[in-house]
Structure 1
Amino acid sequence: MIRRFGETPETGRTYTRRPGVYALLPQGKDLLVTWYDDGLNPELQLPGGGIDSGESPITALHREVYEETGWLIAAPRRIGAFRRFTYMPEYDLWAEKICMIYSARPVRRIGPPGETYHEALWIETTAAVQMLGNDGDRYFASKHLNRL
């Protein structure tokens, strides 16, 4: 059973299952995160996103991290998963997000994030634990912090 974070699903509402991959990208005491700000829902996030049809989780992880941060990563290792029920305004969709969390090593910055509204930031892990936008991301960041 996958641990659930966030809001309880609403009775009678249909949710679309959305598998995704997200990365903890540590360097020393800092994490590479993404600041998402579309002017409506600003949020600090672990880099990552949905797995495209026919795409493997690892391929999706490399693609999503690059799109949202401009960084290449190495040695991804799955450390856990969680699910959350949420509305995704960019898709006008109620989703059951299945969030697979990986730890990986940031290798090299190639350029700025390719996705609109994203900015790559290095932030101290202790601050990230407090500031990340959802409970699941904060949970996995805190588990990482406890290993430092």
Structure 2
Amino acid sequence: MRRYGETPRRGQVYHPRPGAYAVLLRGDRVLLTFQAEPDPEYQLPGGGIDPGEQPIAALHREVYEETGWTIGPPRHLGAWRRFTYMPEYDRWAEKICHVWLARPIRRLGPPTEPGHTALFLPAGLALEMLTHRAEADFLANLLS
């Protein structure tokens, strides 16, 4: 599995943090989420898989929370990992990020996650706007 970001620090204990993320295509547009805090970022919708939660259930939950949309059946594209400090949990984590391709089906309302805004962007612009290299790489591979 490809690693993105910092090299793991020698002697640092990292806790596994699996996550589920979605590339959401509708025609020539991509549905992203803009997270205003703690650092402004354009992201693929998604996030952590809670203990005992199934990955697909987490994917649907995270997409809804961050965009307000429901999605159709997802297809697994792959995964990447990164080692990072997660200030919101005050812990070091090995994030294992699984990515699925899905189609946004229905907007039920605005995002329920505070500080998130859902945006449909042309695919090329979405590729430029994504903050994390791993997410941009998955989208670029899909578009090529």
Fold-level match, TM-score > 0.5?
Answer: yes
Question: Which ranges of structure 2 fall in alignment gaps of 5 or more residues?
Answer: none
Q: How far 1:11 moved relative to its partner? A: 1.4
SS, match of residue 124 in structure 2: helix
What is the distance in 1 between the residues matched to 2:88 and 2:115?
12
- TM-score normalised according to structure 1 size: 0.93
What is the distance in 1 between the residues matched to 2:125 and 2:5?
20
Query: Where does residue 19 of structure 1 map in the other structure?
Result: 18
SS, match of residue 126 in structure 1: helix
Q: How far 1:36 moved relative to its partner? A: 0.4
Query: Where does residue 87 of structure 2 map in the other structure?
Result: 89
Identical aligned pairs, as a percentage? 56
- The 8 Å contact of residues 6 and 134 in structure 1, kept in 2 or not, is answered as no
Q: How far 1:124 moved relative to its partner? A: 1.5
Q: Which amino acid aligns with 2:132?
A: N
Q: Which amino acid aligns with 2:97?
A: C
Show CA shifts across 1:32-69 (max 9, x none): 0100011x411001000111111111111000000000
Query: Where does residue 36 of structure 1 map in the other structure?
Result: 35
What is the distance in 1 between the residues matched to 2:14 and 2:125?
32
RMSD (Å), alpha carbons: 1.0
Query: Where does residue 106 of structure 2 map in the other structure?
Result: 108
Query: Where does residue 133 of structure 2 map in the other structure?
Result: 135
The list of structure 1 runs, each at least 4 consecutive aligned residues, that deviate by more than 3 angstroms after superposition, is: none
What is the distance in 1 between the residues matched to 2:87 and 2:101?
28
SS, match of residue 127 in structure 2: helix
1:10 pairs with 2:15 = no
- TM-score normalised according to structure 2 size: 0.96
Question: Which ranges of structure 1 fall in alignment gaps of 5 or more residues?
Answer: none
Show CA shifts across 1:55-92 (max 9, x none): 11111100000000000001101011000111222222
